[in-house]
Structure 1
Amino acid sequence: MSTLIEAPLADAAEIRSTIEYYNSQKWTDGLPVVPVTESYLSEFLARTSRDPDEILFTMPHLNRSLTIRLAAINAAMAGCLPEYFPVVLAAWEATAAEPYPKRGIWQSTTGTAPLLIVNGPVRERLGFNSKGNVFGSGFRANATLGRAIRLAAINVFGLHPHQLDQATQATLGKYSACIAENEEESPWEPLHVEHGFDPADSTVTAMVFRSNLHIEARHTGSPEQLGLDLANSIRRTGALLHETSSALVVLGPEHAQLFARAGWGKDDLRQFIFDNSVNSREDLVAVGKDALSQHTRWRLPSGHPDAIPDEASATDTPDLVPALKVPSSVVIMVAGANNAGVSAIIETFGRRGDTPSTVKVQDHG
């Protein structure tokens, strides 16, 4: 802390006053933000050749749009460095390719939030964390990139809690949710290469997610046993809001390497999870999720006046109900430290086997 004493002196009272002014205007997520001047903003805009008035993202139902200039202001407020801004732009473009925020899912009572995944050389160059504590604190690039999206959601689209944001309980990811893939300790090709990018490309992938479920599995060297742990976590009835679910499987390096040593690739694991993410009709009846709403396709009891049979009812095995639509409903990546048998299931919203939304980072700085 001695370096703070040696730093150039500033008027602390004036800085605090500016921060409190931003707070009084409801321009924050509850935490202090960085005050932004025109000169500081220009450093962000210098990192792209695009017009500051270009629209990046629109929520038609709110009749509100995010421009590059507004994205830069909120990135600066979030604590991003100017050199992060090309990654912020890629994050917004990837988010714009996801249909669900445009339809208001960020306002939902289910408490969904954007999740960003960074791949490629930019991870090391800008200091994105892909290893220990990957979902936690301590890394400016991760924390501020995710926060840049959240602040714009608040300040540009008006998604304030208790107002346009109607989340019942929400998720901690509403502050910031940004991770990088641990490509170096993965036995497989990284996420962006799997989806058609060059290994030398830097990319951001965007998803909408509802929760992060911790998987503790240090007890086995069997890929089948570990695979069942993952499948059973995905198919849990509490996660079944719609007819089927979807998931991002974030494997710790130890778990990924366990599968690889057994000769399993990503497609093998995806298929195994799909085949075993199945609930019995009896279990669904017990929790009142054995049928669908004919309007929303959400699960509800078969005795409900809005109920219709689910797709499994018309198959040869009506008493076995898949929790996933297709194997590609499961996205697989590797992140975290190589120090324990720990992975995570991220419950994603709306993905039914479509390719994740991934955008290449373009740096003109």
Structure 2
Amino acid sequence: MEYYQQQGWTDGLPVMPVTETYLAEFLAATDRRPGEVLFSVAHLNRELTVKLAAVNAALAGCRPDYFPVVVAAWEAISQEPHPPRGIWQSTTGTAPFTVVNGPIRQRIELNSKGSIFGSGFRANATIGRAIRLALINVFGLRPHQLDQATQATPAKYTACIGENEEESPWAPLHTEYGFAAGDDVVTAFVVRSVMHIEARHTQIPEQLAFDFADTIRRTGALIHEYSNALLVLSPEHAQVFAGAGWTKDDLRSAIYHNAVRTRVDLAAVGKDALSRHTRWRLPGDHPDAMPDSASTSPCPERVRIMSGPGSVQIMVAGANNAGVSAVVEIFGLAPRDRPSSYSKITTP
């Protein structure tokens, strides 16, 4: 382990030694060829093969039966649309964020209930870590080198959760992409932060939806013209909406219509216009400034923060013990009604 540390093959924490015999157990857990490329970054001229993914999964402490999830996660990540995949080197400090659906959650004991963003579960911790270690060891994304994060996020170590399908009043996330409820599926996001919402005070869905919208519409998160969010509801909050007859689409619509800032709000923080070149937000008096899309709307003084209701993804996870949910800030291209980054988990 000390040798691995000296070679820079870790994320700062000790890793598992990997032998050829142990590696063979991982490769036997998938029907993919060891030399098959799962992910590539052209501007770095580097590729991740199935074998390299297996090496890093073993280093991370995965069990071999976790490896099909890791492979599916890389397949989902490969669909990320951000050109030229430089998002992983962003100064914003983005990280991979993986959501797992389907019966495989029980088979590998992947946590979807209490403490989903915390520690204590090997599958969650090591599957997410396998992605990070490959970004370090295969693509060279080390801090102070190719990883240019200014402050980063704890999700850079690991970020993998399951959906609490059993306590959700709605169909699970992956069925919205056309999969059957019994399919095992990984959805990959690019995450910036996770913000928790304490809302134990109300059983009125409109009030709760506005609380979520107010979190999403904060100006500090508004980098581009529009924002995207993954809403991770606790079962208790999901039941508030479902008990009032709300569907996921009703909640999406409510958040979209309430995620609004005034032009005055945006001018106060210097985000009332867009860059002609990058379309990032900047002050209206900047030489590179151009009007945003809202400026030509019937009410230009009210600026929508999201391109449409589909900019909000919704899932249920966590314990059914308190009114605590989370908004996961995710990157996405606008308009973009659904994330395209998902993959079915397959085993031999």
TM-score normalized by the length of structure 2: 0.98
- What pairs with 1:191-270 in structure 2 (closer than 5 Å)? 191-270=173-252
Is 2:308–2:337's contact at 8 Å kept on the other side of the alignment? Answer: no
For 2:80, give the aligned amino acid: E
For 1:243, give the aligned amino acid: E
Partner of residue 12, structure 1: none
CA offset at residue 355 of structure 1?
Answer: 2.3
Determine whether 1:112 maps to 2:94: yes
Is 1:59–1:101's contact at 8 Å kept on the other side of the alignment? Answer: no
Give CA deviations for 1:220-260 in whole Å, capped at 9, x if unaligned.
01100000000010011010000110000000000000000
For residue 57 of structure 2, give the secondary structure of its aligned residue in structure 1.
helix
Partner of residue 273, structure 2: 291
CA offset at residue 103 of structure 1?
Answer: 2.1
For residue 118 of structure 2, give the secondary structure of its aligned residue in structure 1.
coil
Is 1:329–1:351's contact at 8 Å kept on the other side of the alignment? Answer: no
Q: Do the aligned partners of residues 93 and 102 (structure 1) sit closer, same or farther apart at CA in structure 2, a change above 3 Å counting?
A: farther
Partner of residue 163, structure 1: 145
Stretches of structure 1 lacking an aligned partner (at least 5 in a row): 1-18
Stretches of structure 2 lacking an aligned partner (at least 5 in a row): none
Taking the aligned partners of 1:183 and 1:343, their CA distance within structure 2 comes to 15
Partner of residue 74, structure 2: 92
Query: Which of 36, 43, 55 does residue 18 from structure 2 map onto?
Result: 36
Alignment root-mean-square deviation, CA: 0.8
Partner of residue 42, structure 2: 60
Is 2:205–2:244's contact at 8 Å kept on the other side of the alignment? Answer: yes
Partner of residue 3, structure 2: 21
Determine whether 1:355 maps to 2:338: yes
For 1:215, give the aligned amino acid: I
Moved over 3 A (4+): none
Taking the aligned partners of 2:48 and 2:84, their CA distance within structure 1 comes to 12
TM-score normalized by the length of structure 1: 0.94
Is 1:153–1:159's contact at 8 Å kept on the other side of the alignment? Answer: yes
Is 2:270–2:283's contact at 8 Å kept on the other side of the alignment? Answer: yes
CA offset at residue 99 of structure 1?
Answer: 2.0
Partner of residue 320, structure 1: 302
CA offset at residue 334 of structure 1?
Answer: 0.3
Is 1:58–1:102's contact at 8 Å kept on the other side of the alignment? Answer: no
Give CA deviations for 1:59-81 in whole Å, capped at 9, x if unaligned.
01111000000000000000000
Is 2:48–2:138's contact at 8 Å kept on the other side of the alignment? Answer: yes
CA offset at residue 358 of structure 1?
Answer: 1.5
Q: Do the aligned partners of residues 253 and 351 (structure 1) sit closer, same or farther apart at CA in structure 2, a change above 3 Å counting?
A: farther
Report how many residues are paired: 346
Which is greater in Rg?
1
Give CA deviations for 1:1-41 in whole Å, capped at 9, x if unaligned.
xxxxxxxxxxxxxxxxxx00000000000000000000000
Taking the aligned partners of 2:119 and 2:85, their CA distance within structure 1 comes to 30
Taking the aligned partners of 2:182 and 2:7, their CA distance within structure 1 comes to 42
For residue 151 of structure 2, give the secondary structure of its aligned residue in structure 1.
coil
Query: Which of 137, 140, 153 does residue 122 from structure 2 map onto?
Result: 140
